[in-house]
Structure 1
Amino acid sequence: MTTEQNNQEVLDVFGKHRDLASLPVTENDTPIGLINRAIFMSQMSKPYHRELYNRKSCIAFMDKEPLVVDAAMSIEALTFKAVEYGEKALADGFIIARDGRFLGIGHGLQLMRVVADMQAEKNRQIMHSIDYASTIQRSMLRPSREALARTLGDAGLVWEPRDVVGGDFYHFAAFEDGWFAALADCTGHGVPGAFLTLISSSILIQAIEQRGPRDPAALLMAVNRGIKQMLGQLDGDDETPGSNDGMDAAFFWFDNASRQLVFAGAKSALFVLQPGEAEGEIVDGERMGVGYVDTNLDFAWQNRLVQTQPDSVVFVTTDGLIDQIGGPKEIAFGKRRIREAIRGSRHASAAQINDAILDQYRAWQGHHRRRDDLTFFCFRVQ
């Protein structure tokens, strides 16, 4: 409509176009207002209003401060502008201009559809990238899983990232006189956690090549230094402050001849159930994470020696299992339930013990969202 047109003409247009929510008003091709159908019809239905306003200019019931946007504005900028302008812009619509001259009108529903389509496409691209990242992460872990299957006759490993990719990783390597294994829980989960697993596992593999696999505590120290250097966490490095990230981990070496297990833990523990024992033993590591800002560069973890016997059951997990909230009181799963599940399945295979723990975990979780990645490892000494 133009300022020369009257309210009777507006009424005729609304009557002819039943789906029209609003009408823009221009003066010399410059947008100056917007007539909302519902407001206009409500005003014109009042007693004597048609007689008073029919022949008057259509600006009588016009919103004089509509949202006017330039046609060159991006959809993202338009969305923020519409939200900032308030509910009126989404309900009544907005005027589109080019160089200050009227071009057209947009509606909130149209804008929402376009934004939804754009978001869906972005999400599709992101998920495609994450799915491929999952393929890379699983490929990185595959050699360890295959080496584990070849080396140990009775062992089971569960690795379930909370999201498509995860912040937990494991490493297994066999040698002539024994084997080395590691379970680690890096900061976060999803994509950030997965990035950190690539860094940490690469540092671990390099440390094993340089130092050998038989001193888990020394390997934890080497990985700690490597992560702190990689993430810029060194003392005095004020120009490039690093992230406060790292990992909790359990490293252990098993000697085939003596059946001795050498364990070093960073905020991780080992559960050992020896033949004939009723309760089993929890072997705690140090309460210091690897690679965090608060962890000293030269912090020394300690090796714990565990003399196992044939038929001993050894179990280790990241905190995703222990910390899961659930049950009738909505509390953490905890170590006690893990111990009970292991004792209750002590004569089963390692894989069956894992299955029993996993069943209890899922029942405990119930309707609660999984809090973290889930990784645990069980083996029976032969």
Structure 2
Amino acid sequence: MRQSLTRKMNTMVLVIFLAMGGLITFGFMVLGQPIVDELGTSYAVNRVLREKSRVEALVEKEIALALKLADSPIIKKWCTDESDKRIKSLALSELESFKKHFKNHNYFLAMSHSGHYYFNDRANKYDPLRHRYTLHGKVEKDAWFYRMLKEVDDYELNLDINVFLQTVKIWINVIIKNRGEKVGVTGTGLDLTGFLKDVVYQSEEGVDIILLDREGNISAYKNPTYIEANARAKQSGKKIKIFDLLESQEDKERFASHLAALDKGTQQVETFKINVDGKSYLASGVRLANLGWQCFVLIDLPKILDLKTFTPVLGLMLVLLGIAVFLISWFVRREMLMPLSRLSDSAELISQRNYQVDLPEDKNDEIGALSRSFGQMAVQVRQYTENLEDMVEERTKSLTLANQALEFSNQRMTDSINYARIILQGVLPADEYLKAIFPEHVLVWQPKDLVGGDMYFVTRTPSGRIIVVGDCTGHGVPGALMVMSVQALLKRALKTVSPTDPSLVLTELNLLVKKTLNHDPASPVDSGLDIGICYLPDHNDEMIFAGAGMSIYIRENGKVTVIKPDRKGLGYRRSPDNYVFTRHQITGLKGKVFYLASDGILDQPGGKSGLPFGSRRFINFLESLANLPLERQGEAVYKVLLEYSGPREQRDDLVFFGFRA
């Protein structure tokens, strides 16, 4: 046996090693690429956000300075009265001061009234006291100024790419307003040539950066021919777009959707795979809001991360697996197989009724516990063999006494519950009293146990009749106690407030239940109920209804309508103290049948899927009762629930009350 078990263990160890090694290799091959893709995606997202921060940090400072310049009171006043020499001197000093802080140390200012254009740069080539030239609305190169006065409310950025000078400059144009009137445009020019060379042309191998405008035109890319061609093209339709570098229609549609998402601002970063210039890239893009550009980082994953890079990790994992399997095998053989072999010999002696065995008990583990158990078993088997009949007789007597005590306790409990049912039936209205107040009615009251927490109540007042149906917290004996408490509190509420307004009765009953049953906030029990109250005045063809979590169903001409209750339970801690329940007035009672029902019917599971009976099925059922006499509709309720439930037990207490006015 020992040789067989050892051989099985060696075979199992070999199989485990081969299986685990194969699974590790397979998992490495299958799961490694998604990990590489995930790392590449994280790198792409971080890289594109870094480039975005670099661009925005560069531009936003210039925009803030230009906005502050446009908001200068001196500049505004000079634009309003250009002839004032004192203001002009102050304004030019202001402009020269801002020039020192602009990154490229230049500024411009154009006045709407005169069209005068002032400009100065780092080299002070131009006399700041004289305007450089005058803008004219009919001159094409001056159209930007008049378009801004007409269309722009705060500021805009204009990109100026000079093919011959090989420069890229952004002009920050800010509207100057004086008391709401546009009186000029000021700003600065920001040279991005060196910055873009550093970002776009100096990126590391496997990483390409491309800048696009909102229409997908290429504004910056590693291939300068695209930039030069777009700078020469005056019309946007003739410019080279990113879509011109994509081969398949699927890639074009995918890129267009991500461009649109960035433009709408639904996502901060868009990351996806795409083929550009016939090469597969992982693309990650962000929107440069101030420039109106989108910046995309194109990652050539095989050059950045390759699955083969992690091959030494796979080798190390296989080596560690081999070492672990060997150590486990050695440990199992030493700590389990050898002690089990000794136990096997001892068990063989016990099977031959030799109970005087010497079992090894030196190990303080499960094997040692097993050895001690074998020793105890040997002693017990010897004792049981010698005293079996006495032990059986003693145990039989003990079980008989315990069974008699259990039957007595069960009988006492059953008697108590039966007595509680008698008391509860005494609290609820008797059939004769029901028929005296509502001659035409149907009642189904079926607790889940012998007693339950669903209730009904009818009474007559000097001016009319009242019907109440309620579903209290819990079922069984606790539910029955709730019913008796609520019945007493309901009668008290009817004496405290006018019984002709069910909404006031609900408000008062809510306060009474909370004070009586939920006065202790530390109690784990939160008791309450769902309830519906109807009041029918004697001399009016109308009915007043108010409900707290319980609807009323009205059938007329074979169709059922539902009046929804307030979605507030009654008496719970969370129920507002002074909540005003909705008062529903129902007129034209002749020919109508009214139904109130607890959720024991609606929530009863059944059918093939075990779904609740539900309100829609309940409404259809009520409509099917149109031609059935009211006194026979209770049988129909029992029948439809029995057929729907099938073998499933009743889930909750249920009460069903229908009546004609």
Structure 2 CA distance, aligned partners of 1:181 and 1:281? 19
Partner of 1:202: 488
Q: Equivalent residue for 2:544?
A: 262
2:418 corresponds to 1:131: yes
- When the two structures are superposed, what TM-score results if normalisation uses the length of structure 1? 0.69
Instruction: Establish whether residue 246 from structure 1 lines up as the match of residue 513 from structure 2.
Output: no
Q: How far has the Cα of 1:268 moved from its partner?
A: 0.5
Give 1:221's match in structure 2, choosing from 507, 513, 533: 507
Letter in 1 for 2:637: I
Q: Deviations 1:112-136 (Å, cap 9, x if unpaired)?
A: 4333322221111111111101110
| TM-fit CA distance, 1:342 | 2.0
> Are the equivalent residues in 1 in contact too, given 2:513–2:528 (CA < 8 A)?
yes
SS at match of 2:513: helix
Alignment partner, residue 170 of structure 1:
456
Seen in structure 2, the aligned counterparts of structure 1 residues 217 and 256 have a Cα distance that, compared at 3 Å, is: same
Letter in 2 for 1:247: L
**Letter aligned with residue 370 of structure 1:** Q
What TM-score do the two structures reach when normalised by structure 2?
A: 0.41
Partner of 1:73 in structure 2? none
For residue 162 of structure 1, report the CA deviation from its aligned partner: 1.1
2: CA distance between counterparts of 1:65 and 1:227? 65
Return the alpha-carbon distance in structure 2 between the equivalents of residues 344 and 251 of structure 1.
Answer: 25
Once residues 624 and 408 of structure 2 are traced to their aligned partners in structure 1, the CA distance between those partners, rounded to angstroms, is: 49
Q: Contact (CA 8 Å) 1:231, 1:242: kept in 2 or not?
A: no
Instruction: Pick closer, same or farther for the CA change 1:261–1:52 going to 2, 3 Å.
Output: closer
Name the CA distance, whole Å, in 1 between partners of 2:462 and 2:356.
Answer: 103
Deviation at 1:257, TM superposition (A): 2.2
The farther-off stretch of 287-296 and 302-311 is 302-311
Contact 2:518/2:527, CA 8 A, preserved across alignment: no
Aligned mates of 1:187, 1:51 — CA distance in 2: 64
Q: Counterparts of 1:315-326 in structure 2 under 5 Å?
A: 315-326=595-606
Aligned to 2:371: none
Shift of 1:62: 5.8
1:115–1:281: structure 2 CA closer, same or farther, 3 Å change rule? same
SS of corresponding position for 1:280: strand
Residue 122 (1) aligns with residue 428 (2): no
Aligned residue for 2:211? none
Please name the residue that 2:428 is paired with: 141
Provide the alpha-carbon RMSD of the alignment. Answer: 3.2
Equivalence map 1:16-27=2 (5 Å): none
* TM-superposed deviation, 1:65: 9.5
Residue 151 of structure 1 pairs with residue 437 of structure 2: yes
Identity of aligned residues (%): 25
Amino acid at match of 1:131: N
Is the 2:350–2:378 contact (alpha carbons within 8 Å) kept by the matching residues of 1? Answer: no
Q: In structure 2, what is the Cα distance between the partners aligned to 1:150 and 1:52?
A: 87
- 3-state SS of the aligned residue for 2:559? coil
Residue in 2 aligned with 1:347?
Answer: 627
Structure 1 residues 65 and 115, CA, compared in 2 at 3 Å: closer, same or farther? farther
Give CA-to-partner distance per residue, 1:45-87, whole Å, 9 cap, x none: 628x49999xxxxxx9766998xxxxxxxxxxxxxxxxxxxxx
Alignment of 1:276-315 (within 5 A): 276=557, 278-315=558-595
Distance (Å, rounded) in 2 between the aligned partners of 1:256 and 1:301:
23
Q: For the Cα contact (< 8 Å) 1:179–1:255, is it kept in 2? A: yes
The residue identity in structure 2 corresponding to 1:363 is E
What are structure 1's unaligned runs of at least 5 residues?
1-41, 54-59, 67-87, 96-103
Is the CA contact 1:203–1:223 (under 8 Å) kept in the aligned structure 2? Answer: yes
Hey, what's the Cα distance between the residues in 2 that align with 1:172 and 1:61? 74
Which whole-Å CA distance do the structure 1 matches of 2:502 and 2:351 have between them?
85
Structure 1 residue 325 displacement after superposition: 0.3
Deviations 1:187-241, CA, capped at 9 Å, x for gaps: 01001111111111100011112224211111111111111111233xxx55x64
Mapped to 2, the partners of 1:201 and 1:360 lie a distance apart of: 30
Secondary structure, aligned partner of 1:289: coil
**Which residue number corresponds to residue 27 of structure 1?**
none
Q: Bigger CA drift: 337-346 or 290-299?
A: 337-346
Equivalent position SS for 1:264:
strand
Give the alignment partner of residue 644 of structure 2, picking from 360, 364, 372: 364
Q: d(CA) in 2 for partners of 1:135 and 1:362?
A: 25
CA distance in 1, matches of 2:618, 2:540: 28
Q: Is the 8 A contact 1:273 1:280 kept in 2?
A: yes
1:231 paired residue number? 517
Whether the 8 Å contact between 1:182 and 1:251 is mirrored in structure 2 is: yes
Task: Name the SS of the counterpart of 2:428 in structure 1.
Answer: helix
Please give the secondary structure, in 1, of the residue aligned with 2:591. Answer: coil
Aligned residues: 295
Is the contact between residue 604 and residue 651 of structure 2 (CA under 8 Å) also seen in structure 1? yes
State whether structure 2 residue 400 is matched by structure 1 residue 113. yes
Counterpart code for 1:142: P
Per the alignment, residue 34 of structure 1 pairs with none
* Unmatched tracts of structure 2, length 5 or more: 1-347, 359-373
Separation in structure 2 between the aligned mates of residue 345 and residue 320 of structure 1, nearest angstrom: 19
Distance in 2 between the 1:349 and 1:331 partners? 29
**1:348 to partner: Cα distance:** 2.6
2:285 maps to none
Q: Which amino acid aligns with 1:134?
A: R
* Structure 2: distance between partners of 1:315 and 1:308: 16
1:46 to 348, 352, 369: 352
Relative contact order higher in (CA < 8 Å, ≥ 6 apart):
1
- Greater shift in the superposed pair: 282-291 or 109-118: 109-118
The 1:112–1:213 alpha-carbon spacing in structure 2 relative to 1, beyond 3 Å, is same
Cα distance in 2, alignment partners of residues 51 and 187 from structure 1:
64
Q: Structure 1: how far apart are the matches of 2:394 and 2:524?
A: 46
Q: Which has the larger radius of gyration?
A: 2
Deviation at 1:178, TM superposition (A): 1.9
2:573 counterpart SS class:
coil
Partner in structure 1 of residue 465 of structure 2: 179
Contact 1:232 1:242 (C-alpha < 8 Å) held by counterparts: no
Q: Which has the higher helix share?
A: 2
Q: Residues 319-340 of structure 1: CA distance to partner in whole angstroms, max 9, x if unpaired?
A: 1011100112211111222222
Distance 1:111 1:298 in 2: 60
Counterpart selection for 1:192 from 454, 460, 478: 478
CA 1:137–1:52: 2 relative to 1, 3 Å? closer
Q: 1:346 to 1:125 in 2, by over 3 A?
A: same
Change (3 A) 1:46 1:289: same
Please give the alpha-carbon distance, in whole angstroms, between the structure 1 residues aligned to 2:660 and 2:547.
20
Change (3 A) 1:308 1:339: farther
Native 8 Å contact 1:341 1:353 kept in 2: no
Name the SS for the 1:356 alignment partner. helix
8 A Cα contact 1:342 1:357, kept in partner: no
